[in-house]
Amino acid sequence: MSYYVKVILGFIVLDLYLNVGIAKSSQFFIQVLLVLMFFPLLKGILTLTKVKEYKNIGIDFHQKWWINMTIGFMIGFSFWLMKYILVYLFGGFKVTGVMSFPEMVPSVVMIMLIFLVGSFLNDIIVRGFVFGHLKGKIPVKWVFIISLLLYSLDDSWNEGFSMSNMVFSLLLGLSLTYATFKTGSLWANTGIHWGLNVCYGIFNGPLGSTDGGIIITKYEQSTIFLEIIGYIVPVLMFLFVYLLRNKFEREK
């Protein structure tokens, strides 16, 4: 079996495992078990493709990995908060209430944990796995483009397939893919991904419901202008990540 066939099959197995196995499971303890089993499965696939080590796909706890993740989280959270503020100011939704404090604490913990795991596993598959197997085999610009396109297609598991979602995911994926490319590891990328998802969870809850968030909202009918805001914010975030590129610690 050729190297590229193994890589493609490995990617498909991991992607289905995450988006069908873990994401579609209705039992929390089964989800936890499946998450724990993801890493032995990943290790087995890496052994089969001869990439072998986790660090070769960006899971490398270098000395300042947590700095990259913290900076990334602040970037992702801040830009997505800006997005929600703009949508609110231009009439995209109304705030109808706030979750009570006794309910808020466990909800925040769940949002933080669920989106950390979901973001990290997705980043491993569509960026770490792709860069780890293709970088050095083909020109890096093509590795970047392939990873970006796979992320955009993969996001249809969550948002459904449409041209508007494809464009949005491509624009969002620029920051995530560039952070992986620039640092040589997943931490800045996962920080950004985690941060914006946590902000999303505050307004929509872990399951994406308008009445399931910490801040309870009621959305109005979308307009072209509001949709444009959804495109502009990820572009601005990418420009910010690019300008801040030398602040990230690169894997040695």
Mind listing the pLDDT tens digit for each residue in 90-123?
999 999 999 988 889 999 999 999 999 999 999 9
157 band by pLDDT with thresholds 50, 70 and 90: confident
**Residue of 45 and 211 predicted with greater confidence:** 45
Q: At what angle do helices 65-89 and 163-183 cross, to 10 degrees?
A: 150
Residue 214 sits at the vertex; the CA angle it makes with 213 and 218, to the nearest 5 degrees, is: 55
pLDDT score, position 162: 86
252 band by pLDDT with thresholds 50, 70 and 90: low
CA 60 to the chain's CA centroid: 18
pLDDT score, position 208: 67
What is the spatial distance between Cα 143 and Cα 8, in angstroms, rounded to a whole number? 14
Encoding tokens for residue 128?
């770490």
Is a pLDDT exceeding 80 seen at residue 164? yes
pLDDT score, position 221: 85
Residue carrying structure tokens 């890096």: 140
pLDDT score, position 234: 98
pLDDT score, position 249: 76
Q: Which of 56, 50, 55 is nearest to 132 (CA)?
A: 56
List the beta bridge partners of residue 97: 216
Encoding tokens for residue 163?
């041209």
- Please give the model's pTM, rounded to 2 decimal places: 0.94
The tens digit of pLDDT for each residue in 57-99 reads: 999 988 889 999 999 999 999 999 999 999 999 999 999 999 9
Is a pLDDT exceeding 70 seen at residue 148? yes
pLDDT (average), residues 230-245: 96
pLDDT score, position 188: 96
pLDDT (average), residues 206-232: 85
